[in-house]
């Protein structure tokens, strides 16, 4: 039984960097990818805080990128079954990785990328999980991006561009970070 979140983290980060690509050359792409991966890692660890949660995800699958593609205007993608087909690339389909994209994790990561303050709260909340100890320094590019990070990931961090994805499940992230909070309508 797989209790490793790495396929979901890799696929969801890849989806984010394709939906909101880097601005610039190779260095910008690398900086953008690091920021996406850090946001997705935090989101995945919050969403699946225990080995049991991760194992259950491995059994039922994350759901795929079909709805995210539709929300961002990319439309359905060839090879998107929306479900879980096994390991990425196991059927020779070059788009099989898309079945490992987790919509909730992508939404939470988009929320974190658009709000460094929320990202800092999320990283602090990881202390309650079973994914080991982590420090904000390990997620510096997410919680305290410098000018180079912001420039490279201008699209990935733009709150208005992220809104359609972030708004899908932001309320669940806020509930996870502040259980029992009162919502004002």
* Structure tokens given for 13: 């980060």
pLDDT in tens, 36-58: 999 999 999 999 998 899 999 98
User: What parts of the chain have a pLDDT lower than 70?
Assistant: 1-3, 75-92, 128-136, 180-185
Measured CA distances, 67 to 1, 7, 26, 92 (Å): 27, 19, 29, 23
Average pLDDT, the chain: 86
- For tokens 């396929």, name the residue: 7
């Amino acid at each position: 039984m797989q209790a490793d979140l790495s396929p979901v983290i890799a696929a969801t980060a890849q989806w984010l960097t394709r939906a909101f690509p880097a601005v610039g050359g190779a260095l910008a792409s690398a900086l953008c990818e690091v920021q996406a991966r850090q946001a997705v890692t935090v989101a995945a660890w919050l969403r699946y805080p225990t080995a049991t949660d991760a194992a259950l995800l491995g059994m039922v699958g994350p759901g795929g990128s079909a709805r995210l593609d539709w929300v961002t205007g990319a439309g359905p993608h060839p090879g998107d079954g929306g479900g879980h087909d096994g390991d990425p690339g196991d059927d020779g389909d070059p788009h099989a990785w898309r079945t490992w994209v987790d919509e909730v994790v992508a939404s939470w990561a988009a929320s974190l990328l658009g709000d460094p303050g929320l990202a800092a709260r999320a990283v602090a909340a990881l202390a309650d999980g079973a994914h080991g100890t982590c420090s904000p320094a390990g997620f510096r590019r997410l919680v305290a991006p410098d000018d180079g990070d912001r420039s490279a990931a201008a699209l990935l961090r733009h709150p208005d561009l992220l809104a359609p994805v972030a708004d899908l499940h932001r309320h669940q992230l806020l509930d996870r970070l502040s259980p029992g909070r009162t919502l004002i309508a």
